[in-house]
């Protein structure tokens, strides 16, 4: 199941100020794909803040911080359906492999002032097991057996009702 969890919050105005004061910060921290995505948005600072928070959250879920990492070791991309997912490179990818992490999930949200990201790291050992189902014929046979048992119970109850009311003798019920 879950082997690591990371959460980070970034102030959007602070990111906007950093982008204005140091334009090269984009190239140092974000991949070309991330920059392309953010720069196409009406408020790019929101999306840059989200991606920065995501990078930090992912590294926290891996059990580290930026120590020994490059900012570009974690890239936030979007799947075809729009879901954000982290791609790991360099030391981040090595750390994930060392820890047996096979899957990472990412959630991004923002308000008018803050961007927040949460990341979850999952290992194979802790991954929830899928239901081990019977083969279809055996499963169908088990369902028929359950149905037959239920019908038999209904038949017994009908027979009891047809025999008349129960008789109570000294606190015991006899049929």
Q: List pLDDT tens digits, range 151-172.
A: 777 766 666 666 655 444 454 4
- Of residues 19, 1, 8, 15, the one with CA closest to residue 86: 8
Domain that holds residue 145: 136-174
CA distance 39 to 107: 20
Count of structural domains within the chain: 2
3-state secondary structure of 30: coil
Quote the pTM value.
Answer: 0.69
Q: What is the pLDDT of residues 12-46, one digit of tens each?
A: 999 999 999 998 999 999 999 999 999 999 999 99
What is the model's pLDDT at position 104?
A: 92
39 and 83 share one domain:
yes
| CA–CA separation, 107 and 117 (whole Å) | 6
pLDDT at 127 over 70: no
Q: Answer yes or no: do 60 and 93 share one domain.
A: yes
**Residue 128 within any structural domain of the chain:** no
Query: 11 with 94, same domain?
Result: yes
């Amino acid at each position: 199941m879950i082997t690591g969890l990371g959460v980070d919050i970034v102030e959007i105005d602070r990111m906007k100020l950093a982008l204005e004061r140091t334009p090269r910060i984009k190239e140092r921290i974000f991949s070309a794909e991330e920059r392309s995505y953010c720069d196409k948005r009406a408020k790019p600072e929101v999306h840059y803040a989200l991606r920065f928070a995501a990078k930090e959250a992912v590294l926290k879920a891996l059990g580290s911080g930026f120590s020994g990492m490059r900012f570009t070791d974690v890239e936030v991309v979007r799947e075809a359906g729009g879901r954000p997912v982290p791609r790991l490179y360099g030391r981040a990818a090595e750390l994930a492999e060392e820890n047996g992490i096979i899957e990472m999930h990412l959630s991004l949200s923002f308000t008018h002032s803050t961007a927040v990201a949460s990341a979850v790291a999952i290992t194979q050992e802790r991954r929830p097991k899928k239901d081990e189902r019977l083969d279809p014929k055996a499963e169908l046979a088990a369902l028929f057996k359950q149905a037959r048992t239920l019908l038999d119970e209904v038949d017994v109850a009908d027979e009891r009702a047809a025999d008349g009311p129960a008789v109570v003798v000294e606190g015991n019920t006899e049929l």
